[in-house]
Amino acid sequence: MKAIENGSWWSHYAAPARFYPLAGHLVTPLFLMAAVLASIGLYIGFIVAPTDWQQGESYRIIFIHVPAAWMSMIIYLAMAFWGVLALVLKTRLSAMMLQALAPTGAWMTFVALWTGAFWGKPTWGTYWVWDARITSELILLFLYFGVIGLRASIDDDRKADKACALLSIVGAVNVPIIYFSVKWWNTLHQGASVSLTAAPKMAQTMLTAMLIMTAAAWAYSIAASLVRVRSLIIQREPRSSWDKSLKNQAEASSAGVPR
């Protein structure tokens, strides 16, 4: 607490042994939040929201597709961020966070591609087209697989962390390509329905469902990554370091509890 009060909370929790219990406290509330938000968002999107006058009922897949697509890009940028910290600051936790995020990012990318295919069939008449955005999203999935496979193929933790950090940073160039592809090329994929610089192009009920589902995707992604990073801490940190930290915290907590 003294380190946090002095403003060095980052250095305090950068130690895997200290981050481990913090992550444990956050996991359950985040999973519960994700479940509640997803239930509300799906109810509004699939039951309350009106039928689209142009696409009919098939448009409702966007309440899953769009949040997953957004998260697929955000998570990869987060991986690149942790990759920079891992290379510059040499923090072990940064490399672990990068590794923990990759499977969740790959899952979100797969969901985006899968639901996009089901949306494309009634809209375009086919499940798949080599559209600029779809193709660049597929490349993103391969990048996630590349990070996961690269980490698994290198036994030396330091070399693996450096290699994954470099791949994450270099691969981040694909994210703006995905986002701006509908503007840079003539594609079948529709433009953004939600923008920070323009009024939304959908009904308020649809927008509400979309934002709630996005919040659910955020909560799930963070929770899943924290579960994974806790597992990595146990695997990679010496047993004595994080176990001693947990013991000290437990003793400090029990000291303030009246017997």
Q: Assess if residue 83 is contained within a domain.
A: yes
Asked if residue 54 belongs to a domain, the reply is no
Segments of 34-129 assigned E as strands: none
On whether residue 77 sits in a domain, the answer given is yes
Range of the domain at 91: 25-49+59-239
Residue 15 included in any domain:
no
Query: pLDDT digit of tens for each residue in the chain (259 aa)?
Result: 444 444 455 555 567 778 888 888 999 999 999 999 999 999 998 898 887 766 666 778 888 999 999 999 999 999 999 999 999 988 888 999 999 999 999 999 999 999 988 877 776 677 777 787 788 899 999 999 999 999 999 888 889 999 999 999 999 999 988 888 666 555 555 555 554 444 455 678 888 999 999 999 999 999 999 999 999 988 887 665 555 555 555 555 555 544 3
- CA-nearest of 200, 221, 222 to 211 is 200
Q: Is residue 29 part of a domain?
A: yes
Q: What is the count of structural domains for the chain?
A: 1
DSSP state of 44: I
Q: 111 lies in a domain?
A: yes
pTM: 0.82
Nearest to 130 by CA among 140, 142, 138, 141: 138
CB atoms within 10 A of CB 136: 18
What are 56's strand-pairing partners? 52
Written as six digits, the tokens of 97 are: 């966070």
| Cβ pair 64, 44 in contact under 8 A | no
Q: Decide: residue 253, CB within 10 A, 0-12 exposed, 13-18 middle, 19+ buried.
A: exposed
The answer to the question of residue 3 being in a domain is no
4 found inside a domain = no
